[in-house]
Amino acid sequence: MRSSSHAGNGQDLSVNTENGRPDSHLRSGGNTLYIVGTGPGKAEHMSGRARQVLEACDIVVGYKTYLELIKDVIKDKKRLTTGMTKEVDRVQAAIDAALDGHACALVSGGDAGIYAMAGLVLEMLAVKKIACNTGEKDSLCVEVVPGIPALAAGAALLGAPLTHDFATVSLSDLLTPWEIIEKRLDAAASADFVINIYNPKSKKRDWQLGQAMEIILRHRAGTTPVGIVTGAMRDNQKVALCALKDLDKADVGMQSIVIVGNSSTFIYNDLMITPRGYSKKYAIGKKQETGNKKQEKYSDDAQILLDK
């Protein structure tokens, strides 16, 4: 299915979809809300669609730190900013702007649907019974624009820690009771998932990471590799490795994502690697014939690590 839709500046932002859903959520005259994931850091890690939307919209709403990271893209736009813990205010401001006839972009760092604004926007629309994406004249048009999430950016900087099954848990107990977080950590650790930890520590929440370490240690060796990435793709970027038993002493903050390896994860040349299982099925560490040449797929020392 294809329909045509234009921004107020005449730019065609229509996209193809199936199953009869509206395929462009930016119409002439506005009444449009984009929930935009801008990726982990600067504009070069933003998707083409996100850039297209931000350049075409009238108003940009977001946490001031996230908007500062993309200031070159939105330099001519009207901005509505709030501080931390003002998520409901941001969402309400964005909804109001869209209902007033504007094309509005609500910005989230990383991906808008992972611990971010997309869920809150859609929940508030449902609670307030605001029609969206119905195709009717007064219906609000909503599009979620994906971005590179922190777990993907962090994993890329660490090497390949997420090549096998993984679980993601936030340690923030502002909205989720700690008892539930404990159960989820224990379940993920006992199932040998690689574990991505969001919101590991803040000035007010300084004990949860140590508690999480103790929970995971019930099921993992103390030498299990852990990767810590702070400020991924930003000027303050830091990448560090440690053993699980030392996680409580590591330099971790609110801009950090922590990735705890599974029982197969290993470190090679400061790269964190979780095997997918190829070495168990294929002789990837042995010399193989490729035409008339023999190629070494992995060095011997890497193969030793894979075999452990």
Residue 302 placed within a domain: yes
CA–CA distance, 48 with 53 (Å, rounded to integer): 9
Range of the domain at 297: 278-307
**CB 209: neighbour CB atoms within 10 A?**
20
Residue 22 lies in a domain: no
Do 175 and 282 lie in one domain? The reply is no
Summary mean pLDDT of the chain: 86
Paired tokens of 163? 């090549």
* Residue 147 predicted with pLDDT over 80: yes
pLDDT at 46 (0 to 100): 94
Q: Which of 149, 154, 115 is nearest to 232 (CA)?
A: 154
pLDDT band, residue 298 (cuts 50/70/90): very low
pLDDT of 203 reads 87
The residue among 9 and 75 whose pLDDT is bigger is: 75
**Are the CB atoms for 53 and 145 separated by under 8 Å?**
yes
> Long-range contacts made by residues 202-205, C-beta under 8 angstroms, separation at least 24?
202/253, 202/254, 205/171, 205/172, 205/173
Question: For residue 86, is it within any domain?
Answer: yes
> What pLDDT, on the 0 to 100 scale, is given for residue 274?
98
| Res 299: pLDDT | 41
- The residue-averaged pLDDT of 95-104 equals 95
Give 177-205 pLDDT, tens digit per residue: 999 999 999 999 999 999 999 999 998 89
117 and 206 part of one domain: no
Provide the pLDDT confidence category of residue 257 given band limits of 50, 70 and 90: very high
Mean pLDDT to the nearest integer, 128-143: 91
The count of domains in the chain is 3
DSSP 217-252: HTTS-TT-EEEEEESTTSTT-EEEEEEGGGGGGS--
How long, in residues, is the chain? 308
Q: Which residues contact 189 (CB under 8 A, 6 or more apart)?
A: 195, 215, 216, 218, 219, 220
Are residues 172 and 101 located together in one domain of the fold?
no
Q: In this predicted structure, what is the pLDDT of residue 297?
A: 40
Which residue, among 249, 250, 275, has the nearest Cα to 262 in the 3D structure?
275
